[in-house]
């Protein structure tokens, strides 16, 4: 999985930064989404950890877009991990090349 430099959520583009400087002030967090400045920040860690952290912040952005401003962080984290598993287990799902499904029959 590649962490993009920008991601669109509900028509709004958020920049994505890998940085150890989180603006929202939580020392023990490894990522944040800043709705006012349209930014997702992920702390540098092991690649897979950063990918899950990015998906966690992405899920928070989706929930916010849907109007769930009071959401359960545990559920967000569970969804992020589940989505990460689906992406990792099905790498061709997001491949933009057409695959001929009739080959091999």
Q: What is the pLDDT of residues 19-70, one digit of tens each?
A: 988 887 666 789 999 999 999 999 999 999 999 999 999 999 999 999 998 8
Q: What is the pLDDT of residue 9?
A: 97
Do residues 40 and 33 lie in contact, with contact meaning Cβ atoms separated by under 8 Å? Answer: yes
Burial of 7 per CB tally in 10 Å (0-12, 13-18, 19+): middle
SS3 for 40?
Answer: strand
- Residue 23 lies inside a defined structural domain of this protein: yes
- Residue 98 lies inside a defined structural domain of this protein: no
What is the 8-class DSSP label of residue 67?
T
- pTM for the whole structure: 0.85
Q: How many CB atoms sit inside 10 A of residue 61's CB? A: 20
- Residue 73 lies inside a defined structural domain of this protein: yes
Token pair in block for residue 14: 């958020």
User: Residue 81's domain spans which residues?
Assistant: 6-92
The domain tally of the chain equals 1
């Amino acid at each position: 999985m590649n962490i993009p430099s920008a991601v669109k959520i509900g028509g709004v583009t958020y920049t994505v930064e890998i940085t150890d400087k989180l603006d929202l002030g939580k020392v023990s967090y490894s990522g944040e989404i800043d709705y006012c400045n349209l930014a997702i920040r992920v702390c540098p860690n092991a690649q897979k950890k950063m990918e899950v952290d990015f998906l966690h912040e992405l899920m928070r952005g989706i929930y916010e877009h849907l109007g769930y401003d009071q959401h359960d962080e545990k559920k967000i984290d569970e969804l992020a991990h589940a989505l990460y598993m689906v992406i990792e287990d099905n790498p061709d799902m997001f491949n933009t090349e057409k695959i001929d499904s009739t080959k091999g029959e």
